[in-house]
C-alpha cells in the first residue's frame, strides 16, 4: 500500500479547521471569482488547505520522505453521527477507512502517511453514498471519465493544470527573469567565488522547479490567477513566434525575452502589433508582475513548495554573497536556521 | 470527552498581552480561570514531544505567502491583494473597515493592519518582541504640556483631549519589573533614561555587526544607546521553565517561534501555569460572540466552539482582552444584543459616550540606508540591537516644539530573508507588500542580480515609535453593512492623524536619517519617512477606544480597567491606553495587566 493510517491529536485537527470551516455566513465570499459559485466551498475560506498536507511529524528517521495528509469532513449541525469513509487507491479501493469524530466536535478526520511527490484521487462515502470532498476544490478525471477529488503531497512535480507547452514556456520565462543566468553570475563563477558544481545546478533545476511551483500555486492557493496564465501564455507564444518565426519560443534568447518583458511592462504598441490582444487581457505589465512575484517566491521559498530544489535558490545567494569582513564567510548562512537534512540546524526540526 | 465546566471564578477572553498576565496571576491565587481564545493553539517542538514538529515553521510562506483578494463589495480596495500570515484574520471573513475621518469622500476600505494575530498568545506570537518601557513623562502628558506652545498645531487643539494616566511611572514600575522577569527579556538597563528598581534582563547576544553603524550614528548625534530589550530568552528562564538555545535565526518579526525562545504569552505565562497544575483551562478555537448582563454584572459569556456551535459559560469576573478594536467591538455587539441592559451599562451610542473614542496607534516611521561596499549576514539576528531614549528628553521636545517623545531603535532582521526582501522593496513600512517590487519591473535577470548585489546584507534601518495625538473623532464603531463570517457587524475604524503628528513624525524621521547618515561611512541610497498621510496600514499598534481615567466623564474604564457601571467586567488589552506612549506598547500592556491582576486578587 502507498499509505498507512496514523493517529493525530484532536487539537491538531481542531486548530487546522476552526478558522476556515466554522462559520454562519451564507454568502459566497470565497468563490474564487465565481469559479466555485453555488458550491458549499464558496462560503468557506481557503478550501485549498484541505485535505491538510503537512510534514510527517512522527519523528521517524525517514520522516522527511513522507507527508501526513489529514482528510476532514464537517458533519451537518443536526447530524453529528453521520458515517464517513475515505475511499482511495492509496489505501486500496476495497478497503475504505473511516473518518473518526474529533472529540465532541462536528469534524470527522482521518490522517494517512503518504510518500512525498505523489498525487492521488479519493472520494468520501457519506452514509453509504460516494461523493466528492465538498471542501477541497481539486479534482482529477480518470481514463474512464470518472471525476474524483484529488490531492498531492509536497514536491509533486508533474503538471496539474498547465499543459506541457505552457510549463515549458513558463520555465523559459522564469529562467530569463531570475538572476541566475546573467553575465554577472557568469563573471562571479569565473572569478571562482562559487562552487562550480552548485552553480551548475542552479541553472539546471531552479527554473523547472519554479515552473512546477507556479503550476501548483495556480492549482491551489492562487487559483484566481490560473485564468490569467491561460489567457496570457498563448499570446506570449504568439508574439514570440511572430518575432522569431524560425525559433521555438523556448529557444528564444535572453535579450529577446528582455525585450518582450520591456514591451509587456510598457504595454507597447509593438507588443499589440505582434499579437497581444488587449481585449483578451488588457494589462500585460500586471501579468509580468504576477509572473515575477511567483517566480521570486518559487525560487526562494522552502523546497517543499517545489521551486527551490534542495535549497539551491538559497545556496545561490549564500555562494554569491560573502561578508565583507571575511570573504570566506557567506552573507546568507541559511543552513543554520533550516532543518536537517536540508539545512544544518541542530535545534529546529522543520 | 467529559462535560465541559461552565462556571469559573475568572473568564479571560483573549490570550495575548492583556489577557495572559491576569490568567497567570489569578490561577496562582487558587481561582478557577478559563481562557477563551479565538485562535488555535500552535505548539512548540518541545510540547509536541521527542522528535516531533512544531506547528510554527521557519518558512517565509507562513509569514505572508500566497496572495488573497479582498472580495467585500463596495470598498475602495475591493479586488486588491492582501498577504497575511496563517494566524492573522482572513480579511474576507473578519474585516475591519477604515474611513479617513477628515476625508470621508475618499470612501472606505478594508484595512490591512497586520499588528494582531489570532492564535494562543495573540500578537505576542508574531511580534518583533521589542519590549521597551514607556518614558516616565509619557504617563503625564497633560500636566507635562501645561503652558507649552507646540509647533504644527494650527488650531491649538492638539492637547484638547490629552489626559494624564491615572497613575504615574513609579506606580507601574514594579509591574514592569515583574513582567520583565516573568516573561523573559534580554537587554541592558545602562543607557536607558527610565528608572529601574530591578534589572531582570538576561544578557543580550552579541549584536549583528551591521548594527554597529546605528550605534555609531546614534553616538555621533549625542544619543545614549542601550541594547534593545527583546522578549526573547538568551539564557535558561526559570519562571517559565524554558531552556535557552540559538534564537538568532532571522525568522523573527511576523513568525511564530517553533522553539519557544520568543517569550510569547503562551510559553512564558499560560503554559507554565497549566503545567504546574493550577486551575487554568484554555479553550482555543472559541470565539466569544457577546456578553450578557443582568443588573450590574455580566451573567453570561456566549461563544462559539471550534465547530461553530453556540456555547455559554459564566464567570464571577470577566476580563476582555481581544486587542483594542475587537474588544470595543465585542462590547458594542453585546450592547446591540441588549440595548436596554448591557447597552446602557456601557453607554452605547449615548451622547458624550466615550466607548470607541480616542482610538490610537503610534506616530511611526524611520530611515533606511543601503550601505556601499560592505555586506553582512543579516540572517544571524533578532529584531533589533540598539535603542535610544534621548528623543524623549525635555530638551529634544522643547527644541522641536513637540508634545511628546518616543524611542528610536535599529531594525536588524528586516530584509534578511529573500522573499521578504523583495516584498518590502522600496518602502519604509517593514511589512509592506510587493508594491515596490511591482513597480521595479526592470529587475529581471542581470538587473535583478545587480539589485540583489547592492542590497543583500547591506541594508540597515532605524525606526521610531512616538506618541500619537488622541483625537475625539478617531473612533471605532460597528459598520452598518459589512459583516463577518458569523453575520455580526464588523469593526469600523474612523481615524486620521492630527497635524501635530506630522510635526512629530518629521522630527523623528529626520533624526533617523541623521543616525544613518552619521553612522554609515558610504551609502548608495538613503530614504526616510513616516506613516503620516500613508494609509496602507491603518494601525501599527492597536490601542485606545476604551480608555481608563479617574472619572467616568473622561474614560470608559476606571483606574482598575473596570467598566464604570459593570461590577465584574474589565478590559485589559491595549484599549485602556489614553495616550499611546513613546515606545512599542506590549510590555506596558502586560505590566498594566499584572497591576490589574493585583487588584483582582483583593476582591
Ligand atoms: C508582526 C507584529 C510585530 C509586532 N512587533 C511588536 C514589537 O516588536 N513590540 C511590541 O511591543 N509590539 C509589537 N506588536 C504588537 C503586539 O503584538 C501587540 O501590541 C500586543 O499583542 C497587543 O496585546 P493585546 O492584548 O491588546 O492583544 P493581542 O495580544 O493581539 O491578543 C488578543 C487576543 O484576543 C483574541 N480574540 C480576539 N477576539 C476574540 C474573541 N471575540 N473571542 C476570543 N478571543 C478573541 C485574539 O485571537 C488574540 O489572541 C507586533 C505585532 C505584530 C503582529
pLDDT digits (tens, 9 = 90+) for B147-165: 999 999 999 999 999 999 9
Residues of A in contact with B250 (CB under 8 A): 337
CA end-to-end span of chain A:
26
Q: Which residue has the higher pLDDT, A1 or B205?
A: B205
Q: What is the pLDDT of residue B594?
A: 99
Q: Which of A19, A288, A304 is the closest to B441 by Cβ?
A: A288
Q: What is the pLDDT of residue B430?
A: 56
Q: What is the pLDDT of residue B535?
A: 56
**Cβ-defined contact of B422 to A296 (cutoff 8 Å):** yes
Q: Helical H runs in B221-353?
A: 265, 271-275, 324-337, 344-345
Model confidence at B446, in pLDDT bands (50, 70, 90)?
A: confident
Count CA atoms within 13 Å of residue B148 on its CB side: 23
Average pLDDT (B433-437) is 87
With residue B365 as reference, give the H or E element that holds it: strand B363-371
CA distance A105 to chain B (A): 6
Model confidence at B31, in pLDDT bands (50, 70, 90)?
A: very high
- Cα-to-chain-centroid distance, residue B184: 18
Average model confidence (pLDDT) across chain B: 95
| Segments of A88-212 assigned E as strands | 97-98, 100-101, 107-115, 119-126, 129-131, 139-141, 147-152
Which residues make beta-bridge pairs with A151? A120
Average pLDDT (B329-337) is 98
> Would an 8 Å CB–CB cutoff place B375 in contact with chain A?
yes
Judged against a pLDDT cut of 90, whether residue A194 lies above it is answered with no
Q: What is the pLDDT of residue A9?
A: 95
Model confidence at B431, in pLDDT bands (50, 70, 90)?
A: low
CA distance B305 to chain A (A): 8
Which residues make beta-bridge pairs with B33? B10, B280
Residues of B in contact with A183 (CB under 8 A): 446
Judged against a pLDDT cut of 70, whether residue A318 lies above it is answered with yes
Judged against a pLDDT cut of 90, whether residue B444 lies above it is answered with no
With residue A284 as reference, give the H or E element that holds it: helix A284-300
Say how far apart CA B515 and CA B390 lie, in whole Å: 12
By the 8 A CB rule, do B149 and B401 touch? Answer: yes
Q: What is the pLDDT of residue B425?
A: 85
Say how far apart CA B385 and CA B128 lie, in whole Å: 12
**Would you state the cell numbers that stand for residue B223, as one nine-digit string?**
544619543
Judged against a pLDDT cut of 60, whether residue A188 lies above it is answered with no
Among B54, B206, B307, pick the best mutation site for testing chain A contact (most A Cβ within 10 A).
B307
Judged against a pLDDT cut of 60, whether residue A202 lies above it is answered with no
> Would an 8 Å CB–CB cutoff place B3 in contact with chain A?
no
Average pLDDT (B179-207) is 98
Judged against a pLDDT cut of 90, whether residue B225 lies above it is answered with yes
Closest CA to B121 of B326, B263, B316, B310: B263
Q: What is the pLDDT of residues A227-258, one digit of tens each?
A: 999 999 999 999 999 999 999 999 999 999 99
> Would an 8 Å CB–CB cutoff place A79 in contact with chain B?
no
> Would an 8 Å CB–CB cutoff place B310 in contact with chain A?
no
Domains along chain A with CATH numbers: 4-152 (2.60.40.10), 164-337 (no CATH)
Q: What proportions of chain B, in percent to the nearest 5, are helix, strand and coil?
A: 30, 20, 50
Interface pTM, i.e. ipTM: 0.95
Judged against a pLDDT cut of 90, whether residue B424 lies above it is answered with no
CA distance B240 to chain A (A): 19
Among A11, A14, A19, A181, pick the best mutation site for testing chain B contact (most B Cβ within 10 A).
A19
CB of B384 within 6 A of ligand 1: the answer is: no
CA distance B167 to chain A (A): 39
> Would an 8 Å CB–CB cutoff place A331 in contact with chain B?
yes
**Would you state the cell numbers that stand for residue B47, as one nine-digit string?**
510540547
Average pLDDT (A262-275) is 98
By the 8 A CB rule, do A284 and A170 touch? Answer: no
Residues of A in contact with B306 (CB under 8 A): 14, 17-18, 22, 105, 107
With residue B11 as reference, give the H or E element that holds it: strand B7-13
Closest CA to B37 of B127, B128, B130, B123: B123
Cell numbers 511567483 correspond to: A294
> A58 CA to middle of ligand 1, Å?
32
Closest-lying ligand 1 atom to the alpha carbon of residue B122: 49
CB of B177 within 6 A of ligand 1: the answer is: no
**Cβ-defined contact of B444 to A348 (cutoff 8 Å):** no
Judged against a pLDDT cut of 60, whether residue A196 lies above it is answered with no
Model confidence at B597, in pLDDT bands (50, 70, 90)?
A: very high
Which of B12, B89, B115, B488 is the pocket-test mutation for ligand 1 (most atoms within 8 Å of CB)? B115
Q: What is the pLDDT of residues A157-182, one digit of tens each?
A: 899 999 999 999 999 999 999 988 65
CB of B94 within 6 A of ligand 1: the answer is: no
Q: What is the pLDDT of residues B243-297, one digit of tens each?
A: 999 999 999 889 999 999 999 999 999 999 999 999 999 999 999 999 999 999 9
Say how far apart CA B88 and CA B255 lie, in whole Å: 11
- Cα-to-chain-centroid distance, residue A109: 24
Q: What is the pLDDT of residue B537?
A: 63
Judged against a pLDDT cut of 90, whether residue B1 lies above it is answered with no
CB of B575 within 6 A of ligand 1: the answer is: no
| Nearest chain B alpha carbon to A73 | B307
The dihedral region occupied by B392, where left means phi > 0, alpha psi between -120 and 50, and beta the remainder, is alpha
CB of B326 within 6 A of ligand 1: the answer is: yes
Model confidence at A198, in pLDDT bands (50, 70, 90)?
A: very low
Cell numbers 503562551 correspond to: B266
CB of B287 within 6 A of ligand 1: the answer is: yes
Q: How many CB pairs under 8 A join A and B?
A: 229
CB of B17 within 6 A of ligand 1: the answer is: yes
CA distance A92 to chain B (A): 28
**Cβ-defined contact of B448 to A178 (cutoff 8 Å):** yes
Q: What is the pLDDT of residues B297-318, one digit of tens each?
A: 999 999 999 999 999 999 999 9
Among A332, A333, A338, pick the best mutation site for testing chain B contact (most B Cβ within 10 A).
A332
Q: Which residue has the higher pLDDT, A312 or A132?
A: A132
CA distance B60 to chain A (A): 6
Q: What is the pLDDT of residues B480-523, one digit of tens each?
A: 999 999 999 999 999 999 999 999 999 999 999 999 999 999 99
CA angle A190, A194, A197 (to 5 degrees): 95
Instruction: Give SS3 for B171.
Output: helix
Lowest-confidence region among A116-120, A123-127, B81-85, B201-205: B81-85
Q: What is the pLDDT of residue B532?
A: 86
With residue A53 as reference, give the H or E element that holds it: strand A52-55
Among A10, A13, A18, pick the best mutation site for testing chain B contact (most B Cβ within 10 A).
A18
* B 238-297: CB under 8 A from A: 245-246, 249-251, 258-259, 284-285
CB of B484 within 6 A of ligand 1: the answer is: no
> B359 CA to middle of ligand 1, Å?
16
Domains along chain B with CATH numbers: 7-49+56-416+457-600 (3.50.50.60)
Q: What is the pLDDT of residues B46-104, one digit of tens each?
A: 999 999 999 999 999 998 779 999 999 999 999 999 998 899 999 999 999 999 999 99
- The contacts of residue A340 (CB under 8 Å, 6+ apart) are none
Say how far apart CA A201 and CA A139 lie, in whole Å: 34
By the 8 A CB rule, do B377 and B180 touch? Answer: no
CA distance B46 to chain A (A): 10
Say how far apart CA B158 and CA A274 lie, in whole Å: 60
Q: Which residue has the higher pLDDT, B3 or A96?
A: A96
Say how far apart CA B487 and CA A25 lie, in whole Å: 6
| Nearest chain B alpha carbon to A255 | B445
**Cβ-defined contact of B246 to A324 (cutoff 8 Å):** no
CB of B158 within 6 A of ligand 1: the answer is: no
* A 131-190: CB under 8 A from B: 176-179, 181-185
Tell me the percentage of chain B whose pLDDT exceeds 70: 98
> Would an 8 Å CB–CB cutoff place B69 in contact with chain A?
yes
Judged against a pLDDT cut of 60, whether residue A200 lies above it is answered with no
Residues of B in contact with A210 (CB under 8 A): none
By the 8 A CB rule, do B548 and B163 touch? Answer: no
**Would you state the cell numbers that stand for residue B349, as one nine-digit string?**
451610542
| Nearest chain B alpha carbon to A31 | B71
> Would an 8 Å CB–CB cutoff place A324 in contact with chain B?
yes
Average pLDDT (A31-60) is 94
**Cβ-defined contact of B61 to A305 (cutoff 8 Å):** yes
> Would an 8 Å CB–CB cutoff place A283 in contact with chain B?
no
Say how far apart CA B285 and CA B309 lie, in whole Å: 11
Tell me the percentage of chain A whose pLDDT exceeds 90: 84
**Cβ-defined contact of B448 to A177 (cutoff 8 Å):** yes
CB of B573 within 6 A of ligand 1: the answer is: yes
Q: Residue A339, class by beta-carbon neighbours within 10 Å (0-12 exposed, 13-18 middle, 19+ buried)?
A: buried
CA distance A93 to chain B (A): 30
- The contacts of residue A149 (CB under 8 Å, 6+ apart) are A121, A122, A123, A124, A132, A133, A136, A138, A139
Amino acid at each position: 500500500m502507498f499509505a498507512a493510517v496514523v493517529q493525530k491529536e484532536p487539537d491538531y485537527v481542531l486548530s487546522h479547521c476552526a478558522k476556515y470551516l466554522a462559520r454562519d455566513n451564507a454568502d459566497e465570499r470565497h468563490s474564487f471569482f465565481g469559479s466555485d459559485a453555488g458550491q458549499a466551498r464558496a462560503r468557506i475560506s481557503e478550501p485549498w488547505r484541505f485535505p491538510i498536507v503537512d510534514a510527517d511529524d512522527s519523528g521517524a528517521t525517514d520522516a522527511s520522505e513522507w507527508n501526513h495528509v489529514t482528510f476532514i469532513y464537517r458533519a451537518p449541525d443536526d447530524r453529528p453521527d453521520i458515517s464517513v469513509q475515505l475511499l482511495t487507491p492509496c489505501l486500496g479501493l476495497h478497503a475504505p477507512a473511516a473518518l473518526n469524530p474529533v472529540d465532541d466536535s462536528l469534524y470527522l478526520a482521518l490522517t494517512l502517511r503518504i510518500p512525498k511527490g505523489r498525487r492521488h484521487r479519493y472520494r468520501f462515502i457519506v452514509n453509504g453514498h460516494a461523493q466528492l470532498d465538498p471542501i477541497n476544490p481539486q479534482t482529477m478525471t480518470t481514463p474512464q471519465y470518472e471525476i474524483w477529488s484529488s490531492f498531492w503531497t509536497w514536491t509533486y512535480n508533474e503538471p496539474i493544470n498547465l499543459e506541457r507547452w505552457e510549463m515549458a514556456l513558463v520555465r523559459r520565462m522564469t529562467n530569463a527573469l531570475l538572476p541566475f543566468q546573467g553575465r554577472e553570475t557568469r563573471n562571479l563563477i569565473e572569478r571562482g567565488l562559487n562552487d562550480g558544481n552548485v552553480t551548475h545546478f542552479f541553472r539546471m533545476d531552479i527554473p523547472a522547479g519554479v515552473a512546477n511551483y507556479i503550476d501548483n500555486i495556480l492549482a491551489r492557493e492562487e487559483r484566481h490567477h490560473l485564468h490569467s496564465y491561460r489567457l496570457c501564455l498563448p499570446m506570449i507564444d504568439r508574439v514570440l513566434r511572430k518575432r522569431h518565426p524560425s525559433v521555438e519560443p523556448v529557444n528564444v534568447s535572453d535579450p529577446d525575452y528582455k525585450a518582450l518583458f520591456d514591451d509587456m511592462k510598457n504595454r507597447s504598441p509593438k507588443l499589440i502589433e505582434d499579437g497581444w490582444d488587449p481585449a483578451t487581457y488588457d494589462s500585460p505589465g500586471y501579468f509580468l508582475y504576477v509572473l515575477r512575484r511567483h517566480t521570486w517566491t518559487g525560487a526562494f521559498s522552502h523546497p517543499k513548495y517545489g521551486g527551490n530544489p534542495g535549497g539551491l535558490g538559497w545556496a545561490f545567494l549564500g555562494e554569491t554573497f560573502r561578508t565583507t569582513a571575511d570573504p570566506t564567510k557567506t552573507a546568507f548562512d541559511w543552513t543554520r536556521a533550516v532543518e536537517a537534512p536540508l539545512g544544518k540546524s541542530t535545534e529546529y526540526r522543520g | 470527552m467529559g462535560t465541559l465546566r461552565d462556571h469559573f471564578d475568572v473568564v479571560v477572553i483573549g490570550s495575548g498581552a492583556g489577557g495572559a498576565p491576569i490568567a497567570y496571576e489569578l490561577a496562582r491565587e487558587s481561582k478557577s480561570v478559563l481562557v477563551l481564545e479565538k485562535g488555535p493553539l500552535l505548539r512548540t517542538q518541545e510540547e509536541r514531544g521527542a522528535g516531533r514538529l512544531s506547528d510554527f515553521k521557519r518558512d517565509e510562506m507562513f509569514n505572508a505567502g500566497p496572495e488573497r483578494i479582498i472580495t467585500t463589495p463596495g470598498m475602495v480596495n475591493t479586488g486588491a491583494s492582501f498577504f497575511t500570515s496563517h494566524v492573522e484574520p482572513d480579511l474576507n471573513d473578519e474585516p475591519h473597515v477604515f474611513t479617513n475621518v477628515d476625508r470621508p469622500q475618499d470612501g472606505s476600505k478594508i484595512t490591512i493592519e497586520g499588528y494582531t494575530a489570532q492564535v494562543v498568545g495573540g500578537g505576542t506570537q508574531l511580534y518583533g518582541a521589542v519590549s521597551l518601557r514607556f518614558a516616565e513623562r509619557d504617563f503625564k502628558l497633560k500636566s507635562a504640556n501645561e503652558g507649552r506652545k507646540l509647533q504644527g498645531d494650527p488650531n491649538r487643539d492638539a492637547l484638547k483631549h490629552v489626559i494624564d494616566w491615572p497613575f504615574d511611572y513609579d506606580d507601574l514600575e514594579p509591574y514592569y519589573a515583574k513582567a520583565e522577569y516573568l516573561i523573559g527579556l534580554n537587554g541592558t538597563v545602562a543607557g536607558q533614561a527610565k528608572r529601574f528598581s530591578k534589572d531582570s534582563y538576561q544578557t543580550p547576544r552579541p549584536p549583528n555587526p551591521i548594527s554597529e553603524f546605528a550605534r555609531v550614528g546614534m553616538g555621533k548625534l549625542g544619543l545614549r544607546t542601550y541594547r534593545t530589550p527583546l522578549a526573547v530568552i538568551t539564557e535558561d528562564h526559570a519562571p517559565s521553565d524554558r531552556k535557552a538555545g540559538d534564537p538568532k535565526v532571522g525568522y523573527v518579526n511576523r513568525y511564530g517561534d517553533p522553539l519557544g525562545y520568543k517569550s510569547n504569552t503562551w510559553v512564558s505565562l499560560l503554559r507554565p501555569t497549566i503545567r504546574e497544575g493550577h486551575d487554568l483551562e484554555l479553550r482555543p478555537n472559541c470565539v466569544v460572540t457577546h456578553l450578557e448582563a443582568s443588573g450590574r454584572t455580566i451573567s453570561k459569556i456566549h461563544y462559539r466552539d471550534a465547530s461553530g456551535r453556540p456555547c455559554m459559560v459564566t464567570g464571577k469576573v470577566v476580563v476582555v482582552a481581544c486587542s483594542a478594536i475587537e474588544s470595543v467591538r465585542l462590547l458594542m455587539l453585546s450592547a446591540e444584543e441588549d440595548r436596554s441592559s448591557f447597552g446602557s451599562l456601557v453607554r452605547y451610542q449615548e451622547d458624550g459616550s466615550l466607548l470607541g473614542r480616542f482610538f490610537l496607534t503610534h506616530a511611526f516611521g524611520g530611515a533606511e540606508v543601503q550601505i556601499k561596499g560592505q555586506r553582512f549576514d543579516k540572517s544571524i539576528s533578532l529584531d533589533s540591537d540598539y535603542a535610544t531614549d534621548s528623543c524623549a528628553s525635555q530638551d529634544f521636545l522643547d527644541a522641536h516644539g513637540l508634545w511628546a517623545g518616543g524611542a528610536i531603535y535599529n531594525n536588524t532582521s528586516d530584509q534578511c530573508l529573500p522573499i521578504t526582501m523583495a516584498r518590502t522593496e522600496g518602502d519604509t513600512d517593514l511589512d509592506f507588500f510587493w508594491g515596490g517590487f511591482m513597480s521595479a519591473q526592470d529587475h529581471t535577470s542581470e538587473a535583478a542580480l545587480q539589485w540583489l548585489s547592492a542590497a543583500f546584507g547591506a541594508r540597515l534601518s532605524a525606526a521610531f515609535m512616538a506618541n500619537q495625538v488622541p483625537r475625539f473623532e478617531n473612533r471605532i464603531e460597528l459598520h452598518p453593512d459589512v459583516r463577518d463570517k458569523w453575520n455580526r457587524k464588523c469593526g469600523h475604524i474612523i481615524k486620521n492623524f492630527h497635524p501635530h503628528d506630522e510635526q512629530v513624525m518629521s522630527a523623528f524621521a529626520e533624526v533617523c536619517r541623521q543616525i544613518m547618515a552619521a553612522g554609515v561611512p558610504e551609502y548608495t541610497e538613503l530614504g526616510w519617512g513616516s506613516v503620516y498621510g500613508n494609509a496602507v496600514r491603518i494601525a501599527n499598534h492597536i490601542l485606545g477606544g476604551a480608555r481608563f481615567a479617574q472619572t467616568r466623564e473622561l474614560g470608559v474604564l476606571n483606574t482598575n480597567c473596570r467598566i464604570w457601571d459593570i461590577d465584574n467586567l474589565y478590559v485589559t488589552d491595549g484599549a485602556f491606553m489614553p495616550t499611546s506612549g513613546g515606545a512599542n506598547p506590549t510590555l506596558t500592556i502586560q505590566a498594566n495587566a499584572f497591576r490589574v491582576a493585583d487588584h483582582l486578587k483583593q476582591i
